[in-house]
Amino acid sequence: MKQAYLIYIFFGPPGSGKGTQSNFLGKKLGLPVISTGELLRYEESIKSPLGLKARRYVKHGQLVPDKLIHQIIAGRLRKRDAAKGFILDGYPRDAKQLDDLLKLIQDKYTPWLIEVKVSDREVVNRISGRRVCNNCGASYHLVYNPPKKGGLCDVCGHKLSIREDDKPAVVRKRLADYKDSADPLLAYGKKQKRLISINGEQSIAKVRQDIFKAIDKIK
């Protein structure tokens, strides 16, 4: 039987570091990292019709309607670099999106779920220091992962900014939503015996090491 390619779905609360970790894994495995949050921010920055439609949801920390997300993901997965597997960050976010994804990939890909666990208190702590580059998508933390030159992106030199949806009231809403949405992903991963749960409250390097170790066991 032809073996399905593996895909990796990262999930965890906002600020859990799943964006950073998914990029480490992407480099290790030579797979593209597909982040719906980043794709949406890009669409917004070029003021595409899709970006403009999504903007009001993203700004208030609300989920963008499934139809728009599906459109953006389906388009991205058609690109050549995703043919032999990919890593997802921020998608699927709930039971409906998981179902949509499973239909889209059929039996061509086998999904593994990677949960990055972090407490609410730590999330609020971390997000207050988060800075992002709107030009290339790199992200930083003023304490845990500071840029080399204050306020500027190490990769492209662009000025860093605070995401609008990282403001405290919006973060609280995103946290509450996350809890509802993570349950179906956990249940699916457990049922399929393809769930990796990682303690995200460790140094970036140690979290990376734990993820790599777990991935090496399944390959």
Residues recognised as catalytic: 18, 93, 130, 163, 174
3-state DSSP assignment of residue 11 = strand
**Residue 124 CB, nearest distance to ligand AMP (Å)?**
15
Could you tell me which stretch among 32-40, 117-125, 139-147, 150-158 binds ligand AMP (CB under 6 A)?
32-40
Give the binding range for ligand AMP (CB under 6 A) out of 24-32, 53-61, 113-121, 148-156: 53-61
Q: Provide Rg for the chain, Cα atoms.
A: 17
Residue 166 makes contact with ligand AMP by CB under 6 A: no
216 phi/psi in degrees, rounded to 5: -60, -30
Closest contact distance (angstroms) between CB of 57 and ligand AMP is 5
Q: Kindly state the tokens that stand for 37.
A: 């949050």
CB of 40 to ligand AMP, least distance (A): 5
* Both tokens assigned to 99: 């179902």
- All residues at 6 or more sequence positions from 202 whose CB lies less than 8 Å from its CB, including other chains: 210
Sign for the CA dihedral angle at 190, 193, 199, 204 comes to negative
CA distances from 199 to 12, 110, 133, 206 (A): 10, 24, 26, 9
User: Which x/- pattern, by CB under 6 A, does the window 86-125 give for ligand AMP?
Assistant: ----xx-x---x----------------------------
CB 63 within 8 A of CB 53: no
Among 35-43, 78-86, 150-158, 193-201, the segment contacting ligand AMP (CB under 6 A): 35-43
Where do contacts with ligand AMP occur on this chain (CB under 6 A)?
A: 14, 36-37, 40, 57-58, 61-64, 69, 90-91, 93, 97, 165, 174
